[in-house]
Structure formats: C-alpha cells, structure tokens
Amino acid sequence: MAVIIDGKALAKKIRSNLKVECDELKKKGITPKLAVIMVGDNPASKVYVRNKSRACNEVGIEYQEYLLDENTRQEDLLNLIKKLNQDETVNGILLQSPVPEHLNINQAFKAITYLKDVDGFTPSSVGKLCIGEDTFVSCTPLGVIKMFEEYNIDLNGKDVVILGRSNIVGRPLIQCCLQKNATVTVCHSRTKSLEEHTKRADVIISAIGQPKFVTADMVKDGVVIIDVGINRDENGKLVGDVDFKNVEKKASYITPVPGGVGPMTIAMLMNNVIKATKEQYNENSTF
C-alpha cells in the first residue's frame, strides 16, 4: 500500500509558518496585500477565489477582490491591472482564469508588473525559471515540488513523466523537475503510445483533466503518483486524473483528490504573496 501524501496537512503547516512571517512584516508596519481580479461568474472560479480569500485571512494577508462584468473590455481589464501595478499598498496581483473568450488572457498576464506576479505567469517569471534563477514559480508546480521535499522523494536521476503541457502546470513542472536533476518526459494529447512512457516512469505527475485516466495497468510497481487533476466523475464526485483505488495498490506514494495538490496550490500562493512583499521592501533586491 502506498504512503498517502497529505497535501491538506502540509498546506496547513505552511500557512501557519507563513503567518509567523506575515506577523513579522506587520510589526514593521507592512501588511501584505493580494488583489484578485475575476471576470464573469464562472462557478468553479468562485470556489477557488473563496478558498484563496480564506487562506489570506488565516495567514493575515489583506485581500481585495475585483469582480468585473462578463462583458468587460480588454482595455478596462488592462487599465485595472495598470492601476494595481502602481498601487503601493498592493503586493500581489492575481487574474483568475478562465476569463470570457473575447478577452486576451496572455496579454493581461503580461501587463502584471513582475514584482507582483504571484502566479508566476509573466514572461519574466517564466524566463527566469527556465534559466534557473530565483523567481515566482507558478503555484501548482511549486506545491508539487514542496510535496517531494517534505516526503524526501528525491528526483535525482529519476524518470519523471508529466501528463499535460499547459502553461500553468505542465510546462513549469518540466523546469522544476529538471532543476531537481530528473529525466523529464512530457506527454500530451498528440503523444503516441502514452502508456509506454507511464509504464517506465519512476514518478508520474498527471495534469490533464480526465477523470480516472491513469489506471493500474499503466504504471509500474513502486511508482510515485502526483495527481493534479480536479474533475467530476459520472456521479458528480470530485476525482483526480488517477484511478486512485487501484493505482494506490501499486504506488509507493500517491496524492489523493481532494486533499492533495489543491490545498498546496493555495498555500504556495500565500507563499508567493509574502515573497513578493519582502522583495518589494528589499532595497538590495536583485530579484
């Protein structure tokens, strides 16, 4: 039976450590503040945004939400980002995805000033990650790496297979795993014989958004499984990309859904807001 990686407990521990750091900043008269922009009223986004606001509350980060109308124009979205870039009381800016289709989300991400890019989506953050410099790392990949570290799962020389190549999960994960000296393979919807890759993997990180896609016959004994997926099954139950019940029997470590990567993503957002605040007040910062 696998060790279940308890993302919920680890995230709680991280939030409580961050609270100490946040209190120290407050003693110096600095209150970290996160601004969250949401366009339209996507139900899943509402849940994510609520969870982020709760986490801010727990850590002591001030939280301000900007709810924009479904029909908001690109220009108005960009103007709001510009205003928040200039607002010295705001330390982190997050644009909740998805946005309505008429908006250009990449252009909006690019408008966020680098030092407030707590989601790690701007080209500056992504570029720095690629050349191995300290920067804001996108929250889900950073959460996955923290899990490896906490559970002493060494990626050095391991065959890591990442399922999914999105800008927010799969792609930054490639860099994070390379930095840990893993041999990285990335699979996506055009990959031929995906099972050939998963069957030889020491570690599988799945972020494709397909319920129970990774089955026991696709993995080897002792594999480490990180399930990023958040999906609903045929009964409306929250499930990951992995057939947990059967894969657990073969794995050495596995993350559950819910209670695995999800809480870690939010804890890492809190981490990045504190990091951003410190860098903004550090006169010697080379960040």
Binding map of ligand NAP across residues 227-256, x = CB under 6 A, - = no contact: -xxxx-------------------------
Task: Tell me how far apart the alpha carbons of residues 164 and 140 are, in angstroms, rounded to a whole number.
Answer: 13
Q: Is 61 within 8 Å of 278 (Cβ atoms)?
A: no
Q: What token pair was written down for 24?
A: 């120290």
Question: Does the active-site annotation cover 52?
Answer: yes
How many C-beta neighbours within 10 Å does residue 111 have?
A: 19
Q: Which one of 96, 117, 241, 250 is the catalytic residue? A: 96
Is residue 190 close enough to count as binding ligand NAP by CB under 6 A?
A: yes
Which stretch in 104-112, 150-158, 259-267, 271-279 sits in contact with ligand NAP by CB under 6 A?
Answer: 259-267
Q: Quick one: 195 exposed, middle or buried, by C-beta within 10 A (0-12, 13-18, 19+)?
A: middle
CB of 99 to ligand NAP, least distance (A): 14
Answer for which of 74, 210, 246, 280 binds ligand NAP (CB under 6 A) is: 210
CB of 86 to ligand NAP, least distance (A): 29
CB of 26 to ligand NAP, least distance (A): 28
Q: Quick one: 109 exposed, middle or buried, by C-beta within 10 A (0-12, 13-18, 19+)?
A: buried
Answer for which of 262, 268, 272, 277 binds ligand NAP (CB under 6 A) is: 262
Q: Which amino acid is at 10?
A: L
Question: Does the active-site annotation cover 159?
Answer: no
Contact set for ligand NAP, span 116-175 (CB under 6 A): 140, 163-166, 168-170
Q: What is the DSSP string of 254-271?
A: E--SSSSHHHHHHHHHHH
Answer for which of 115, 129, 261, 276 binds ligand NAP (CB under 6 A) is: 261
Q: What token pair was written down for 106?
A: 């990449």
Question: Angle, to 10 degrees, between the axis of helix 170-179 and the axis of helix 123-130?
Answer: 30
Q: Is 102 within 8 Å of 72 (Cβ atoms)?
A: no
Which stretch in 16-24, 63-71, 126-134, 184-192 sits in contact with ligand NAP by CB under 6 A?
Answer: 184-192
Q: Is 219 within 8 Å of 253 (Cβ atoms)?
A: no
Contacting residues toward ligand NAP, per CB under 6 A: 140, 163-166, 168-170, 187-191, 194, 207-210, 228-231, 261-262, 265
Question: Active-site residue numbers?
Answer: 52, 96, 119
